[in-house]
Amino acid sequence: MELTKLVKNHAKALGCDLVGVCSIEALKEWEEEGKRILPNASSVVVVGCRLSRAAIDSDNIRMAQFDTHCVYDKLDRILNGLSVFLEDKGFLAVSLPLYLPIKMTKETQGLIGDISLRHAAVEAGLGEMGLNRLLLTKRFGPRIRLGAVLTTAPVNPDHRFTEKLCNDCGECIKACPAGAITEDGNVDVRKCARVILKYALPGLVRFVPSLVGKSVDEVWEATREPFLWEIWQTMTYGTFYNCFECIKACPIGK
């Protein structure tokens, strides 16, 4: 069987809902970094796994958090299995981090990946970038998480997604509690991060200085507040997203 079909069939057998391929050259902004990660890399195999609509729409945010954790765990296994499959075929392959670990610098502030999975997905034909700068797919809308494998395997690239899915309804703009999404399709990621990562690094950075100058009793009292408990839970479990409003509001895929 032709290699491209073999790779896609294996990705689906591992459990992904969507799979596509783009060339590393198509990711112009990230081509150099891609070849630094894997010299002679030629292709990016992009996979997507759906999120539960019911979990995302629930008024109990822990349902969406847990479902996201499960999907990322699934993607971890799919990417590892796909990398092993490609290497068994005689090619080199490396899984790209889904969200962590990520480069931590003052410039990126832990908000920018080595290669944009969203842009790779567009080039691989999986969907388009919506007004909220999330990938929109025909079947699932923005309720999907992405992963990718960089490889030297000569798999055939898919056509770039060119259909228009986002109708610029503005529901994501109205739903965003941070006011991070603008009508011209720009997203202030730092505004978004202050809400979505409330109990992750931004929350920890705010919490630690708040203890300076406090008495032992005041510090002890601060440790007994749910805000710190949420940070502990986030760091322990790894489910640090605290907002799904723009995904919930999007009508595409419903």
Residue 175 shares a structural domain with residue 144: no
Percent above pLDDT 90 for the chain: 89
> Would 182 be classed as within a structural domain?
yes
- pLDDT given for residue 97 in this prediction: 94
Residue 134 shares a structural domain with residue 228: no
> Would 161 be classed as within a structural domain?
no
Is residue 212 a contact partner of residue 43, using CB atoms and an 8 Å limit? Answer: no
Residue 42 shares a structural domain with residue 132: yes
Mean pLDDT of 106-121: 91
Percent above pLDDT 70 for the chain: 100
The reported pTM is: 0.94
Residue 146 shares a structural domain with residue 77: yes
- pLDDT given for residue 41 in this prediction: 97
Mean pLDDT of 135-162: 98
What count of residues does the chain have? 254
Please give the Cα distance from 143 to 71 (Å, whole number). 11
Is the peptide bond preceding residue 39 cis, with omega within 30 degrees of 0?
no
> Would 211 be classed as within a structural domain?
yes
Please give the Cα distance from 88 to 82 (Å, whole number). 10
Residue 136: its H or E element:
strand 135-136
> Would 156 be classed as within a structural domain?
no
Among residues 92, 119, 151, which one ends one of the domains?
Answer: 151
Residue 189 shares a structural domain with residue 80: no
Distances (CA, A) of 189 to 68, 134, 142, 162, 197: 20, 12, 17, 25, 11
> Would 166 be classed as within a structural domain?
no
Residue ranges making up the domain that contains 196: 171-249
- pLDDT given for residue 135 in this prediction: 98
The 10s digit of each residue's pLDDT in 243-253 is 999 999 999 99
Q: Which of 63-77, 139-153, 180-194 has the lowest mean pLDDT?
A: 180-194
> Would 165 be classed as within a structural domain?
no
Residue 147 shares a structural domain with residue 176: no
Residue 7 shares a structural domain with residue 110: yes
Residue 190 shares a structural domain with residue 124: no
> Would 177 be classed as within a structural domain?
yes
> Would 254 be classed as within a structural domain?
no
Residue 137 shares a structural domain with residue 175: no
The 10s digit of each residue's pLDDT in 182-225 is 988 899 999 999 999 999 988 999 999 999 999 999 999 999 99
Residue 30 shares a structural domain with residue 96: yes
- Give me the number of domains the chain comprises: 2
Residue 119 shares a structural domain with residue 20: yes
Residue 120 shares a structural domain with residue 8: yes
